[in-house]
Structure 1
Amino acid sequence: MDVRTPKVGYVTISGRIYVYNEDYQRLVYLAYRFRKAVVKATRMLTKGLSKDYVEKVITEDLNQGYAKSVVDTAKLMVKGAEYHGSNPLKIKVKKLFIASKGNSIYKGNRNIRLLSSNKLLVSYNFSKKPGLHNNWIECEARFGEEYIPLVNEVIGKAMNNELSYNARIVFRNGEIYLHLSIPVELYIKHFRKVDKEPSGDRIAAFDLNSDRINMVIIDRQGIIRETRTERFGEVNSPNYPGNKAWTLRLQALGRLLNYAYHHLVDTVVYEDLFKIKRRRIKKTRNRNGNRKANNFPKRMLLQHAITMALKYNFKVYLVNPSYTSRLAEKIKDRFGLDKHTVSAYLLGLRYLNPETYKRLLD
């Protein structure tokens, strides 16, 4: 299937965690045990052991709720290693973290539970048996002011067992962060960019890259109406901060989506990166830039791009990108455009008229 609608169930928002004295020591110890269990699970899964068996083994060290999250995290890491052509048996986890899958039966989450927008409980129960317990680590949580109404609604529904949320605690650069995955419908409700539906019927197709984003707007006949490119080549420079690079990419994408909304676009098309089983390695003259480009989390940017498009009430589709880069390189001179812009155009054309696209391949 060349064209599909993306499945977006959850969106992740972030806050900060503050914990002190003995509770801090207990949280760090729990994170060490969780990380060790994840590495152990990656080895077992890579060797072909079943998910159920691995989960049973992990419950010797952590409770069942944590064990399920350990195995799910390990599976993702193994798939990620295979995608990048690495050996899953050599996976190393540097950062300390704790994860817990959502469960509406346990007021949203069994092990990492928000009581309010500023109070968080983290389970310190290592027992294999599920159920209620009183061994909690009490933490202070802080979210940006713009997230407070959303977080409060999530907590209210969770306390009534109406929804669940996944939670992850990450230790990074001396700080502790809380990442919450909440239902996308609630997120869009609070952060929608526009009130009206798009007024036109044109298609905006995107080509996402580490140092640029290309957009092509076409009409329903496949005619190119506009092209726009946002460039930020400095992000691949040595010592350029990763968080600043990420902000630049999202801001650039936001400007392009806003432009598309005000220029008769109602449909957005991205390349379906989940169709690619193994990542292609690109080489450049700059070794540091080459490393940054190849480590660029393109799938993560795609997830953000989908959510950002939904905030503009766009219809969003993912298109199989197979052969688009090679074909773009071949026919770019015919259009007088660079290969990235032509790649975006080919995605739009493949969505709009697969038969015309196939004729270009011949």
Structure 2
Amino acid sequence: MRSELTGSKEALGKFQFVTISGRVEFEDVGRVVKIAHYYSRAVKAGINLALKGVPLNDAVKELYRIIPYAFYAETAYKQALALIKNGGNKIEIRRRWIACKGSKADRGNRGIKFHVLEDHVEVKVKDPWGRWIVGRAYFGRKYLPLLRELEELAGKGEEGYGAVISFKEKPMIHLQIPLWLYLKHFSVKKPIGYGLIAGFDLNSDRLNVVVIDRDGRIVTTRTYWYPEVTRPGFPREKGKALRLNALSNALKFLSRIGVDYVVFEDLFLVKGRRRFTKSKSGNRRISRFAKRQLLTHGVIKSLRLGFNVILANPKGTTNSKEHEKVMKERGFDRHTASAYLIALRGLETNSIKGVRSN
């Protein structure tokens, strides 16, 4: 049986696509940079329009004056709306990029197209002021069969894909691949387990896991530490790699002991901004810790490895009378107690009752 993802409507909407990235070399990178300059200006202007509540169609007409291509203008305004939703009304646009939404009706994407060749991918970017700009993208050979199938589906009008060109260090292309297609090419078959459920608590300096059975009895607990990532000056990318490695090791362990369900917090139900403390070191850990990014990786990795994934409502799993009771009665630290309560939330979902994975 295929692995399943269970969660809120907000969460499921975030896991429709998986982004893959590749280096891209353009024949005329200057023209691409020009488009990115005006696209970023359109997003910045779109933020002001969004704060005023301007409807989509009216906003697109306004942004078309900045970047005269409707599909770029529409994508820019939708990104502006998303930025306000996630970050409030104080948004700074410091980088340049180009984005274009995907659509089945547009044979995949109107503004950024690709064609798979033998050892690389040809990329074409629509120039609002001239001809298409051609480039060569390199994703790695393992992705070429996936991209060939996506290109074929897009040509038939069966799938669309979003695309972004970024310029953080060197030109990169990022393609949004439908999740089902990504899993078709990269998932592995997992042996049927014993119906065990594992709850995860993701933190800046550690990963806590509690495994329970269908009766809610604790089977085992694990803590994966990476405290060095919170030290001042520790490289952000290295810290990210250590966290992802800990998550991978945890999933491998869970597969060995017969876990079929993994449960994470449904962070997409959590509204509002990060809560900072009086501790400078604590605030540093909070500001540098991309918890949703780690969650996204954990969900995709779990599905690839054949687990059923449940995103549970985190309300009450961190600060509540129930949380305090678990710590007192079981002698758990607060993070292990959270992982235990998250596992119990997963057990309460209908997807577990009477179902075995794979």
Tell me which interval the TM-score lies in, with the shorter structure as reference length.
Answer: 0.7 to 0.9
Partner of 1:319: 312
2:266 corresponds to 1:260: no
- Give the Å deviation of 1:264: 1.6
Match of 2:52, as an amino acid?
Answer: K
Q: Of residues 143, 155, 171 in structure 1, which corresponds to 2:139?
A: 143
1:97 is aligned to 2:94: no
Matched with 1:333 is 328
Residue 191 in structure 1 maps to residue 189 in structure 2: no
Distance 2:192 2:171 in 1: 40
Corresponding position of 1:14 = 21
CA RMSD of aligned residues (A): 2.1
Q: Which residue of 2 aligns with 1:45?
A: 50
Q: Identify the match of residue 85 of structure 2 among 79, 82, 89.
A: 79
Secondary structure, aligned partner of 2:309: strand
Structure 2 contact 197–259 (Cα < 8 Å) conserved: yes
Give the share of equivalent positions with the same residue, in percent: 38
Contact 1:204/1:348 (8 A) holds in 2: yes
Select which of 124, 129, 134 maps to 2:127.
Answer: 124
Structure 1 residue corresponding to 2:299, chosen from 288, 306, 311 = 306
Asked if structure 2 preserves the Cα contact closer than 8 Å seen for 1:4 and 1:317, the reply is no
| 1:191-236 Cα deviation digits (max 9, x unpaired) | 11x3245322010111112222111100111111111111112222
TM-score when scaled to structure 2? 0.87
1:350 aligned partner: 345
Note the residue ranges of structure 1 that are not aligned, 5 or more in a row: 83-87, 127-133, 355-362
The Cα shift of 1:338 comes to 1.4
Letter in 1 for 2:150: V
Q: Which runs of 5 or more structure 2 residues have no equivalent in the other structure?
A: 1-5, 350-358
CA deviation after TM superposition for structure 1 residue 337, in Å: 1.8
Q: How many residues are aligned here?
A: 335
Q: 8 Å contact 1:198–1:314 — kept in the other structure?
A: no
Q: Distance in 2 between matches of 1:48 and 1:162?
A: 33
Distance 2:274 2:83 in 1: 18
8 Å contact kept, 1:198–1:261: no
Corresponding residue number in structure 2 for 1:68 = 74
Mapping 1:138-177, distance limit 5 Å: 138-173=134-169, 175-177=170-172
Match runs of 1:106-125 below 5 Å = 106-116=106-116, 117-125=120-128
Q: How does 1:190-209 map to 2 (within 5 A)?
A: 190-192=185-187, 194-209=188-203
C-alpha contact (below 8 Å) 2:190/2:307 kept by paired residues = no
CA distance in 2 between partners of 1:246 and 1:353 (Å): 32
In the other structure, the counterpart of 1:214 is 208
| Partner AA of 2:29 in structure 1 | Y
Q: CA deviation at 1:184?
A: 0.7
Aligned equivalents of 2:7 and 2:76: distance in 1? 33
In the alignment, what sits opposite 1:27? Answer: 32
SS at match of 2:229: helix
